[in-house]
Amino acid sequence: MPIILRKSFRDMRAKLGSTLTAILALTIGLWGIGTLLVSMLIMNNDLSENFSQTNPPHIAIQSSDFDKLNLDELRSNPDIMAAGFRDKITLRIEVKPDVWLPVWLYSVADFEHLTVAKIYQQNERFPPPEGTIFIERDGLLISNFTTGALARLQSGGEVFETEISGFAFDPGQAPSSQDQLIFAYTDQANYTRLSGNPAKQRLIIRFAGVKTIEEVRAKYDQLAVEFSQAGISIDSFTIPKFDEHPHQFQLNTMLYLIATIGLLAFAMAMVLISQLMSSIFTQQIRQIGTMKAMGATRAHIFQIYVSYILGIALVSIAIGLPLAVLSGKAFSAFVAGIINFDILTTQMPAWIYIMIIAFGLLLPIIFSLPALLKGIKISVADALGDYGINTDQSKVSGNHTRVSGSTTLSLSIRNVSRRKSRMIVTVATMALGVAIFLTGFNVRESLRVFLDNSAQSLKYDVQILMKEQLPPEVAIAHFDSIEGVSNIEARVRGPVQVNSDDITLSSAGISVIAAPFDSIMIERDLLQGTWLSSSVELEFVTNQGAAPAFKPLIIGNSYPITVGGNEVSAKLVGVVREFDSPKIYLDLEKFNALANPDGLVNNLLVSLSDRSYDSVIQAKIQIEQAIESTGMDVIVVMSQAERAKVIFDHLNIILMVILFLSLLVLSVSAMGMGSAMGINVMERTREIGVLRAIGATPKVVIRLFVIEGFIISALSVTVGLLLALPMSSLAAQFFGELILGENTPLDFAFSQSGFSITLVVTLLFGYLASSVPANRATNITVQEAIAYE
Amino acid sequence: MDNIIELNQVIRSYTQGERTFTALNGIELEIKQGEYIAIVGKSGSGKSTMLNLITGIDHPTSGVVTVIGTDIHQLNESQLAQWRGKNIGIVFQFFQLIPTLTIIENILLAMEFVKTIPRNERLQRAKNLLEMVSILDHANKFPAGLSGGEQQRAAIARALANDPDILVADEPTGNLDSATADSVKAIFADLVAKGKTVIVVTHANVGEDEFDRVIRLQDGEIISSSAKSSGQKGQS
Ligand SMILES: Nc1ncnc2c1ncn2[C@@H]1O[C@H](COP(=O)(O)OP(=O)(O)OP(=O)(O)O)[C@@H](O)[C@H]1O
Ligand SMILES: [Mg+2]
């Protein structure tokens, strides 16, 4: 081995503590950034890959005239990539005894030759034998379904049975477990038997060569003309978000999170490295001077220390890179399980390895450069001390003549401020770590408060959505004799059309809820304006999901809306925040006058006198029994508790990622602070020897450093806390808009548990990182300490 | 014969805040090839400063330092380092061996920096040098495993690694007992016999007969430069 490399290698061994800390920091940094790169690559690619492999439809068109359509001719249209019938109806299915969930039942014309909205077989029996159904596999997580079992479906007030012949994977759907919604697929004849509706009434199309939702809309408009020429009248059409998985927002949020926090964690690892390197160089200054006196040029010195850094880098890469690939894959698999998609990427592209290796090699050098250059540039005379080659090691600057207990504090303070630039870096790094950690916890708290509030704002316990419309007295009469029911409110839920540029929202994407304006069933979380009033004018309130349909959104403006075939002008009075589909709210009486002359209702909110979980579940079972015995045609019966769980499940995965990343950042920065303090003590070993030689007891010395540690910790927490406040409200705003939609910030919330963890971790690290090395430094003899290099 | 070292009107002063302190004041000095020189004087008289100017470790405030025909303070830092590695061996008072390299590796490192000794001759030469200072047995030990006298001899061997013409030593025997100090002095005398120029700083009461010339410093000025009474060596 060349002598220069040998020196680097021996230095690594000689300063094993610093070397290992540097390796640890770099390994964690590389591991973190590598995990992020790998998982971002996999998730970003695979969710959309899963989704786009299904050939997702750009539009679904509903018509009862499709017997006049020549499907083969339509498919040969160059504008159309693929088309097929896929009828869809919402029914209810019994997932566990007496527990019913909505099911979207699809008819599939030819399971084996799907060209659009493909679904994949999960077991041997494919396609399903006639008269049986397949269930989307994520439904297994929320049901007792087994292959060969009989499923019970409620349809038109009756219960039908049909065999479950297997499971399918449909990457185009939201995960059943999160949406509390089952997806089922069957042949057209069985579809008609179960739904009571004829098949071939819903056509799904994927256009060729469209790149935006506007182009989809334009293609549809052309097609609509052709259809009407062929005598096909269109009942309705739906344009989903353009080529985007329904739960893409969860992935986006996570990718943002891990990218920003991950980069910050990496930056902190780099600060740590640069501190370690600067401490190592400080200790080597005398040697650098000697070597220069022996004839070493700057290039020689550079070579020696760069190979030292590269040695550290290589070890870190060797550990960090394989770990990163493993954990990146594991994290992606975890997320894939939750969002219900398959991991397709098996081989990482070479560039990702190259990138991690390049990071690992270059960044530590770049970050050590300031310290390295300082070491290289120092003159021999300076390096060997003010007295040139006659270096006298006993000339230690010692202006501490008297060390008594009472002066320890002032001495500690003086010491903290003495190494100013390092202290600033240490405090800044730790404060940033604290700030990010607190921000993570605060955003999590904001989300939690939002969930709590949404749960508390609902003053009803069970909601019933019917397919049929009934007079309110009739509907209420089915349930008001159930034990414990204290109040039932009847409302109407139906579609509304708005004139909007927002193609998804305008294509039958918004519901209207018509409820008494003075309803006490829901406490409103108003973002802007007010709730509905008794005014004679037609007023409406939108939730933030539907808000983009009204542009520009100005409280007090009137917008045209179409309900029950009547276009009217309605005045926008407020915007509410809720984690729900796009909706607008109207007063029930005004709605009835406008579009519902018979005053029929389809939506009941039931409140109970005993709101405990058990009582709600009991009441729900009785409601289900009442539905079965009266033959009501119902779509959804959902308790508030279940609804809260649905919302929570949508956000929980994000909360977990926030938590994990915040902890990672805090531990990296605590490590940074710890090692900076360790270095600080180590470098002052000789000073400790002098202090002891002039009469300081080990206890006094240790106290000196522990107080120093606490000062730094306390400073870091304070600065971190101050930083965290603006960061948290920005982050709450950002994530609110990402999760809930535009103009929907989450409210700032302060996480007490986050703050407590911060305090404990920071102070504990501050204590350990100062007391452990101080103990070590006082355990060696005074003589050894004074001679310490 | 030409002077190997010349100091002309050399002044070295330090400015600390308001005050300017002159450590060397108007030094005129000529040293010839093969001379064995002692620089003596009280503590603070400027001995180390003078040595540092000769090796190029320190720069004069004014004046010219010429060593082996080179105005050394015209060289840039790396040129100076290479020049010094080739031409001057320095023995430090506190040895300054690299602690993570063995004794023989310390010598090989000095050769690696300067590269005047062909690679295939280096190991043998390093062994010869250690043999010469009688510590070949310790070649593969680390500096911490050697006594002070042994470390000092290792430092001398390292200073000679690249066969320099000039050897300087700042209080080389200050830390040694008298027997060990004598053996170190014997090595210097031996080197002078082989034609090297050796400059030793000391503030001990020197046996002045050992040296060709004794230069006395006081308050930054040369107060006397006494040559050996009999049989001056290396002078024309
Ligand atoms: N870097 C410096 N800054 C300020 N003054 C200095 C510096 N280096 C040396 N001096 C001063 O210059 C004077 C000469 O110092 P020098 O080290 O040459 O003395 P010395 O003769 O070698 O003494 P000693 O025998 O104690 O080693 C001293 O008074 C010293 O304080
Ligand atoms: Mg001196």
| DSSP per-residue string spanning A242-310 | TT--TTHHHHHHHHHHHHHHHHHHHHHHHHHHHHHHHHHHHHHHHHHHHHHHTT--HHHHHHHHHHHHH
Kindly list the residues from chain A whose CB atom is less than 8 angstroms away from the CB atom of residue B21: none
Residue B119: burial class (beta carbons within 10 Å; 0-12, 13-18, 19+):
exposed
Q: Is A260 on the interface with B (CB under 8 A)?
A: no
> Under an 8 A CB cutoff, do B93 and A392 touch?
yes
Distance in Å, CA B7 to ligand 1 centroid:
19
> Under an 8 A CB cutoff, do B112 and A4 touch?
yes
Cβ contacts of A142 within 8 Å, gap of 6 or more:
A95, A101, A176, A177, A180, A182
Nearest chain B residue to A287 by CA: give it: B98
Atom of ligand 1 nearest to the CA of A381: 1
Size of interface A-B (CB pairs under 8 A): 110
Q: Give domain status of residue B161, yes or no.
A: yes
pLDDT at B197: 94
Domain edges within chain A: 1-51+246-386, 59-238, 393-456+650-789, 462-610
pLDDT at A82: 92
Q: How confident is the model at residue B205 (pLDDT cuts 50, 70, 90)?
A: low
Which of B197, B191, B164 lies closest to B32 in space, CA to CA? B197
Q: How confident is the model at residue B70 (pLDDT cuts 50, 70, 90)?
A: confident
Q: Give domain status of residue B211, yes or no.
A: yes
Closest ligand (CA of B39)? 1
pLDDT at A690: 77
What Å distances lie between residue A350 and A37, A356, A599, B11, CA to CA?
A: 12, 10, 66, 63
Q: Give domain status of residue B209, yes or no.
A: yes
Distance in Å, CA B53 to ligand 1 centroid:
13
The pLDDT tens digits of the residues spanning B95-109 come to: 788 888 999 999 999
Nearest residue (CA) to ligand 1, atom 16:
B46
Atom of ligand 1 nearest to the CA of B12: 12
Q: Is B84 on the interface with A (CB under 8 A)?
A: yes
pLDDT at B182: 83
What Å distances lie between residue B158 and A39, A294, B116, B151, CA to CA?
A: 55, 9, 14, 10
> Under an 8 A CB cutoff, do A296 and B85 touch?
yes
Range of B82's domain?
34-56+76-234
- Ligand 1 pocket: which of B18, B47, B53 to mutate (most atoms <8 Å of CB)? B47
Kindly list the residues from chain A whose CB atom is less than 8 angstroms away from the CB atom of residue B77: 297-298, 379
> Under an 8 A CB cutoff, do A388 and B57 touch?
yes
Q: What is the mean pLDDT of chain B?
A: 86
Strand order across the B88-91 sheet: B88-91, B166-170, B197-201, B36-41, B213-218, B221-227
DSSP E strands, A668-711: none
- Ligand 1 pocket: which of B13, B20, B21, B42 to mutate (most atoms <8 Å of CB)? B21
Q: Give domain status of residue B165, yes or no.
A: yes
Lookup: tokens for B169: 């030593």
> Under an 8 A CB cutoff, do A391 and B93 touch?
yes
Nearest residue (CA) to ligand 1, atom 12:
B23
pLDDT at A492: 93
- The closest CB to that of B49, out of A6, A300, A388, belongs to A388
Quote the number of domains for chain B: 1
What Å distances lie between residue A679 and A280, A283, A422, A781, B62, CA to CA?
A: 9, 10, 11, 19, 41
> Under an 8 A CB cutoff, do B170 and A390 touch?
yes
Nearest residue (CA) to ligand 1, atom 25:
B43
Kindly list the residues from chain A whose CB atom is less than 8 angstroms away from the CB atom of residue B105: 3, 6-7
Distance between CA atoms of B115 and B110, rounded to whole angstroms?
8
Distance in Å, alpha carbon of A280 to nearest chain B alpha carbon: 14
Q: Give domain status of residue B9, yes or no.
A: no
- Is residue B133 within 8 A of residue B167, CB to CB? The reply is no
Distance in Å, CA A390 to ligand 2 centroid:
5
Atom of ligand 1 nearest to the CA of B201: 22
Kindly list the residues from chain B whose CB atom is less than 8 angstroms away from the CB atom of residue A7: 98, 100-101, 105, 109
pLDDT at A402: 42
Mean pLDDT by 10 residues, chain A (789 residues): 83 80 83 86 86 90 91 91 93 89 91 86 77 92 91 88 92 85 94 93 93 91 92 88 83 78 76 78 83 88 88 92 90 85 87 91 88 83 57 38 53 65 80 87 86 80 89 90 89 84 70 90 86 90 89 90 86 89 91 90 91 84 86 83 72 75 78 76 75 79 85 90 91 77 79 89 85 79 63
**Strand partners for A164:** A133
Q: Give domain status of residue B18, yes or no.
A: no
Q: How confident is the model at residue B203 (pLDDT cuts 50, 70, 90)?
A: low
At position A433, the amino acid (one-letter code) is G
- The closest CB to that of A295, out of B93, B113, B170, belongs to B113
| 3-state SS string for A185-220 | EECHHHHHHHHCCCCCCEEEEEECCCCCHHHHHHHH
Taking the CB of residue A198, how many other CB atoms lie within 10 A of it? Answer: 14
Mean pLDDT of B161-173: 89
pLDDT at B229: 54
Helices A248-293, A420-457: axis angle to 10 degrees equals: 170
Atom of ligand 1 nearest to the CA of B24: 14
Distance in Å, CA B155 to ligand 1 centroid:
23
Nearest residue (CA) to ligand 1, atom 6:
B14
Residues 102-121 (B) with a CB less than 8 A from some CB of A: 105, 108-110, 112-114
Residues 196-215 (B) with a CB less than 8 A from some CB of A: 201
Distance in Å, alpha carbon of B226 to nearest chain A alpha carbon: 24
Distance in Å, CA A232 to ligand 1 centroid:
105
CA A250, chain centre distance (Å): 5
As for ligand 1, residues whose beta carbon falls within 6 Å of it are: A 386-387, 390; B 14, 16, 21, 23, 41, 43-49, 203
Q: What is the ipTM of this complex?
A: 0.86
Which of B146, B148, B153, B180 lies closest to B169 in space, CA to CA? B153
Closest ligand (CA of B57)? 1
Coil, strand or helix at A560: strand
Closest ligand (CA of B92)? 2
Coil, strand or helix at A611: coil
**Domain CATH code at residue B147:** 3.40.50.300
> Under an 8 A CB cutoff, do B93 and A294 touch?
no
Q: Give domain status of residue B127, yes or no.
A: yes
Nearest chain A residue to B58 by CA: give it: A381
Distance in Å, alpha carbon of A778 to nearest chain B alpha carbon: 22
Residues 389-408 (A) with a CB less than 8 A from some CB of B: 389-393
